[in-house]
C-alpha cells in the first residue's frame, strides 16, 4: 500500500476499505471490492461526460485550467508558438523532444515525400455534392485513406505506425486543400515540394492559373494558429481517437472518428458557430440585447466557456495578438468590433463572471480565418489540420500503454426489469 490512501466506510455494511491514492487519483476498479453480498457486482463510479475521471496517464500535454496554463511536453505554449514551426511542434508532440536541426530537416523531408495522394482520391472527392460540408468530406476522405493503405492495420509494427503517421501528416493538407477547391468548383492544385508545409498548403488552396503571391505574415499567422490547436489533452475528439483506436483499428479510421467529434458545434465547430452568431447579432448596438437573451437561456455565447479552462484560455490570448498582425495586412474585419464588445460586456457581467466563462480558442480564430479568405464552413478543417499531430501522438501513447484495453464504459441500467415478450397481435 502506498503512503497516501483513502479509507472508505460503507454505511450499508459497516465495513471499511483502504484504497491507494496515486497521483491524486483512486482507481475506480478498487471500488469493486465494496460489496453488500458475495454475488453483488461491487461499487462502480458514475461519471457521465467524464467530469471527474482520468481515462489515461499521459506525458504529452499539461493543462492547468484554473491558472490558464498549457504546455506541450513541458514547454509553455507561449514559447512554442513564438519560436517553433508547425512540423517542429508536431515532432515535439510525437517524439517527446524538440528536434535538432538535422532531425527537423529529415522529418520535413520525409513529410515532403509523402504529400501526394492516389489519383483515385481525386475521383471519389469528385463524387461529393458541390455544397457538401467540408468536415463531412474530410472525415470521409481521411477514413477512406485506410482503403488505400491496408498495411495501416499493422498497428503493432512500429515501422508501419511511423509510416502511417508520416502519411497522415503529409496527405492531410493535400486533402484539406482539395476540399477547399471542391467547394469552390476549382480544379485541384497538386503539392509543390519546393514549398514548406504551410506554404504548400496555402498554395494548394489559393493558387489560381499557376499564380499565388504568398504573404509571409499571413502564413506565419496560420502556422501559429495550427500550433495553438496541435494538442489539448483529453478533449472530445482526442477521446474519440483514443476510444476508437482502442479497438485496434487502423489510424486513418481512428483519426476520422476524431474529425467527426471535432465537427460538432460544442467542440471544433464552435469557430464556425461564432461567425454565424456575429452575423446574427449584426451590429455593436445589438450586443447588449443578445447577451440578455443568452442569460435568459436562449442560446449560448459561442466561443465562450470551456470544460477545463476556468480562466482566460491562454490560446485565446495569443490568438488576439495574431489577429492584430493579420488585420494590419488585410484591413479590419468589421465583425471584430462586435466580438470585442461581446467580450467586454461578458467579462464584466455577473452571469459570465460567476460561471467563469471566458473566451476560448475559437472566439477569435474564425475572424482571422475569414480575413485570410477561408469560408466559414471551412474553419473546422483548419482546426483539424492543426489538431492532427496531437491525435496521432495520443493514439500512439494509448497503444504503447500496457494499462490500456479496449475502451468500454459501464452503465447504470435504468430500463424495465425482465418482462414477457408480447406477440404483435396482443400489443
Ligand atoms: N454561453 C452561455 N452560458 C454558458 C456557456 C456559454 N458559452 N457555456 C456554459 N454556460 C453556462 C451553462 O448554461 C451553465 O449554466 P448553469 O450552471 O446556470 O446551468 C454553466 O455555464 C456551466 O456550463 P456547462 O454546460 O455545464 O459547461 P461544460 O463544461 O459542460 O461545457 C462548453 C463546456 C461545451 C465548451 C460550453 O461552455 C459551451 O457550450 N460553450 C460554447 C461552445 C464553444 O465555444 N465550444 C468550444 C469549446 S473549445 C473547443 O472545443 C476547441
Residue-wise pLDDT tens digits, 403-416: 999 999 999 999 99
At which residue does the C-alpha cell 475569414 appear?
370
pLDDT class of 2 with cuts at 50, 70, 90: confident
pLDDT of residue 339: 93
pLDDT of residue 270: 87
Pinpoint the residues of the chain covered by CATH 1.10.580.10.
Answer: 65-264+388-397
Choose the CATH number for 270-372 among 3.30.365.10, 1.10.230.10, 1.10.10.10, 3.30.420.130. Answer: 1.10.230.10
Q: What is d(CA 31, CA 35) in angstroms, rounded to the nearest whole number? A: 9
pTM for the model: 0.94
CATH 1.10.580.10 assigned to domain 65-264+388-397? The reply is: yes
pLDDT of residue 272: 87
Atom of ligand 1 at shortest distance to CA of 297?
13
Residue closest by Cα to atom 29 of ligand 1: 307
304 alpha carbon to ligand 1 midpoint, in Å?
7
Residue 301 Cβ < 6 Å to ligand 1:
yes
Kindly tell me if the per-residue pLDDT of 166 is higher than 80.
yes
Residue 303 Cβ < 6 Å to ligand 1:
yes
Residues marked as catalytic? 267, 306, 362
Kindly tell me if the per-residue pLDDT of 276 is higher than 80.
yes
pLDDT class of 362 with cuts at 50, 70, 90: confident
Pinpoint the residues of the chain covered by CATH 1.10.230.10.
Answer: 270-372
Amino acid at each position: 500500500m502506498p503512503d497516501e490512501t483513502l479509507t472508505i466506510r460503507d454505511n450499508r455494511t459497516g465495513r471499511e476499505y483502504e484504497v491507494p491514492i496515486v497521483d491524486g487519483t483512486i482507481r475506480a476498479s478498487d471500488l469493486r471490492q465494496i460489496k453488500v453480498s458475495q454475488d453483488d457486482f461491487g461499487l462502480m463510479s458514475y461519471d457521465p461526460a467524464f467530469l471527474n475521471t482520468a481515462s489515461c496517464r499521459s506525458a504529452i500535454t499539461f493543462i492547468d485550467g484554473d491558472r490558464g496554463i498549457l504546455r506541450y511536453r513541458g514547454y509553455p505554449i507561449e514559447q512554442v508558438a513564438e519560436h517553433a514551426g508547425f512540423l517542429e511542434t508536431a515532432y515535439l508532440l510525437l517524439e517527446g523532444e524538440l528536434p535538432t536541426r538535422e532531425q527537423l530537416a529529415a522529418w520535413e523531408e520525409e513529410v515532403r515525400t509523402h504529400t501526394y495522394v492516389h489519383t483515385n482520391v481525386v475521383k471519389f472527392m469528385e463524387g461529393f455534392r458541390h455544397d457538401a460540408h467540408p468536415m463531412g468530406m474530410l472525415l470521409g476522405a481521411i477514413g477512406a485513406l485506410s482503403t488505400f493503405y491496408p498495411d495501416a492495420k499493422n498497428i503493432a509494427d512500429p515501422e508501419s505506425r511511423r509510416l502511417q503517421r508520416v502519411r497522415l501528416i503529409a496527405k492531410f493538407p493535400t486533402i484539406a486543400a482539395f476540399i477547399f477547391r471542391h467547394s469552390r468548383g476549382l480544379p485541384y492544385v497538386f503539392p509543390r515540394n519546393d514549398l514548406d508545409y504551410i506554404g504548400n498548403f496555402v498554395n494548394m488552396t489559393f493558387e489560381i492559373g499557376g499564380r499565388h503571391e504568398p504573404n509571409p505574415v499571413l502564413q506565419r499567422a496560420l502556422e501559429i494558429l495550427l500550433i495553438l490547436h496541435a494538442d489539448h489533452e483529453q478533449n472530445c475528439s482526442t477521446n474519440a481517437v483514443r476510444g476508437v483506436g482502442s479497438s485496434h483499428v487502423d489510424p486513418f479510421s481512428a483519426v476520422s472518428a476524431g474529425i467527426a467529434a471535432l465537427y460538432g458545434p460544442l467542440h471544433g465547430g464552435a469557430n464556425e458557430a461564432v461567425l454565424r452568431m456575429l452575423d446574427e447579432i449584426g451590429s455593436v448596438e445589438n450586443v447588449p440585447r443578445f447577451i440578455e437573451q443568452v442569460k435568459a437561456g436562449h442560446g449560448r455565447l459561442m466561443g465562450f466557456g470551456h470544460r477545463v479552462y476556468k480562466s482566460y484560455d491562454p490560446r485565446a490570448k495569443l490568438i488576439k495578438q495574431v489577429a492584430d498582425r493579420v488585420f494590419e495586412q488585410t484591413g479590419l474585419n468589421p465583425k471584430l468590433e462586435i466580438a470585442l464588445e461581446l467580450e467586454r460586456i461578458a467579462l464584466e457581467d455577473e452571469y459570465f463572471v460567476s460561471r467563469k466563462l471566458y473566451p476560448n480558442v475559437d472566439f477569435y480564430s474564425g475572424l482571422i480565418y475569414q480575413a485570410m479568405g477561408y469560408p466559414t464552413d471551412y474553419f473546422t478543417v483548419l482546426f483539424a489540420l492543426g489538431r492532427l499531430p496531437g491525435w496521432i501522438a495520443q493514439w500512439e501513447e494509448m497503444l504503447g500503454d500496457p494499462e490500456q484495453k479496449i475502451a468500454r464504459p459501464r452503465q447504470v441500467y435504468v430500463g424495465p426489469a425482465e418482462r414477457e415478450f408480447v406477440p404483435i397481435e396482443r400489443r
